[in-house]
Structure 1
């Protein structure tokens, strides 16, 4: 009798720090995935809540394994432990303990990997929801898939200067993950963006349209709303990502680095423009934003956002906030992607 073909295997690494109340639902969203063989790898980074007890309960399922740190290691070391030292399956996911995989997400990603051996990462649509809300109803977009060459995907990121992934929706070929290495300790805010760029430098990138890939929980204790909420942290870390990435990949077209710098400068100026439109000069450091844009992109005077800012300086915030006469299409917030390099939520350190 012919043996059925082996199913794709996926290791889902779940770092957890004081998220015991979310952990059961997170793990269940993985174990219920059809069409793939999953292994859940929970790393408790010295939680002070009931995480050890919840992990002991969950590991009764043979597909779930757990570890606990004796000393808090922080999010970067914990991520890298799971991705580089523990994961062995065909594909790997790094899933925060307070997020959820959407039904069927792993099988849809595996289909892309199996059909395209050069693809190193597959992602899909992520749906945000709040701490106390039910999962939102979602209207599915037409199903389909897109595969970009790595260079084309990098260029698209340079054109916006922003990340387009929240992170739980990303599935990575394990061999590619281990080839490019782990998260950078010196880029705690934009580490995801830098990781995706490194993956795109050595592989193609796939995207699955239609049903969501993951649900991203937004709450007051998430890392993005605590340690990494600074305006300049976001801008400076994204600029540092591109600077480091292109320094380590000199074979890429030089125009891409210039394109990234231009995009980040435009973002800084756009924030300054909106401060005038909203009469928020007491809250937003407009002069510093303009100076940052000049440092990043020396030809800043040719940017439309710069000219818009000059007009607003002449008119003043009171007039601008009442009329907003000069808000053009180029100043509308671009896209619905992730602003900044949104790292996974974490409460360690």
Structure 2
């Protein structure tokens, strides 16, 4: 496709920081996209590895569609916002430097947004892959969440920027990503957009390879947990929330804290797992024993959705879990019940 002197339909913003191992695959996956014009904007957030050297040939060879911009290290939110500010296209696709697009991603999402001016976001599915790009699991969130309205964003938070495409004017309207909430600034953004009336639909297709490795944001257990709590606190601190949303606060907080607890268990933070379950206890919708059973069932479901094994005995036989059960027994009337099922 000829790009010279043609305004791009889609701006692909790739924030990167010391990701020279994967950045080429990310860029090549964009260059292989067909069916729409695009620009590639790489925002290098102060990398100290060989990123600049690797990308130099792209700047020369694809000068009609490729820009490489370095900035002082400020975090991924600032890098993405920088990309939004300099983009020429009306539609924006984000691509983390360790992810990659699958064929047809840009054209199919852009087609939906072009035909549907009422929409601000098109979301899609993704494929979890390992460090080498080998498939681990297909994730099709629409099977569980067919409608992406504010209530479902709050309850489920199926956010992955690399799988999404945004209308640029909506991103500008809400001020882009908030630097206060790394690494959950993407969840904060989507909640802001939905609260302001931005509509989302699904492209029911796997469009992205989402790489799982030790340095990815989703493997940073404690920062992710604290950030997601901060985003939830910030959202419900707003004074003029719709009444139906305000009524959801207790259940949203409970569900969020239980998911965080599972995530911390999954990433090896066992003491913090029980601390977040103690917080979830304050918002429980069930009786004491039912709540503990719900935790175990939720952990099993989250693990299944994540494509990993869940060993219930490993959880319930741990010292931290036993201490948690004793805490429950001491602080509630559950001590008078048969606790054999939960110990």
Q: 1:336 aligns with which of 305, 309, 316?
A: 305
Counterpart for residue 173 of structure 1: 167
Measure the CA separation in 1 of the matches of 2:230 and 2:113.
31
Say whether the 8 Å CA contact 1:16–1:43 is kept in structure 2.
Answer: yes
TM-score, structure 2 normalization: 0.73
Aligned partner (choices 307, 310, 313) of residue 289 of structure 2: 307
Distance 1:111 1:287, change over 3 A: closer
Q: How does 1:174-189 map to 2 (within 5 A)?
A: 174-189=168-183
The 1:294/1:80 distance shift into structure 2, 3 A limit, reads: same
Whether the 8 Å contact between 1:90 and 1:174 is mirrored in structure 2 is yes
CA deviation after TM superposition for structure 1 residue 13, in Å: 0.8
Return closer, same or farther for 1:136/1:229 CA change in 2, 3 Å cut-off.
closer
Paired residues, number: 295
Alpha-carbon distance, 1:271 to partner: 7.5
Counterparts of 1:260 and 1:216, CA distance in 2: 30
Provide the residue aligned with 1:344 in structure 2: none
Aligned to 1:82: 83
Distance of 1:96 and 1:272 partners within structure 2: 26
The equivalent residue for 2:341 is: none
Superposition deviation, residue 56 in structure 1: 1.0
RMSD of equivalent CA atoms: 3.7
Q: Does 1:190 find its partner at 2:184?
A: yes
Asked which structure has the greater RCO (Cα within 8 Å, sep 6+), the reply is 1
Unmatched 5+ residue regions in structure 2? Answer: 1-5, 308-343
Structure 1-normalised TM-score? 0.72
What is the Cα deviation at residue 133 of structure 1?
3.8
User: Post-superposition shift, 1:217?
Assistant: 0.8
2:156 is equivalent to residue 130 of structure 1: no
Structure 1: stretches of 5+ with no match in the other structure: 1-5, 313-325, 339-349
Pick the structure with more helix per residue.
2
Other-structure match for 1:32: 32
Q: Distance in 1 between matches of 2:159 and 2:199?
A: 16
**1:269-326 Cα distance to aligned partner (Å, 9 max, x none):** 57879999x9x9x93456633442255x3xx3x425x43356x8xxxxxxxxxxxxx8
Q: Structure 1 residue 175: deviation in Å?
A: 1.0
Q: Which structure 2 residues correspond to residues 216-255 of structure 1 after superposition, within 5 A?
A: 216-225=210-219, 228-230=220-222, 233-248=223-238, 250=240, 252-255=241-244
1:208 aligns with 2:177: no
Equivalent residue, structure 1, for 2:149: 153
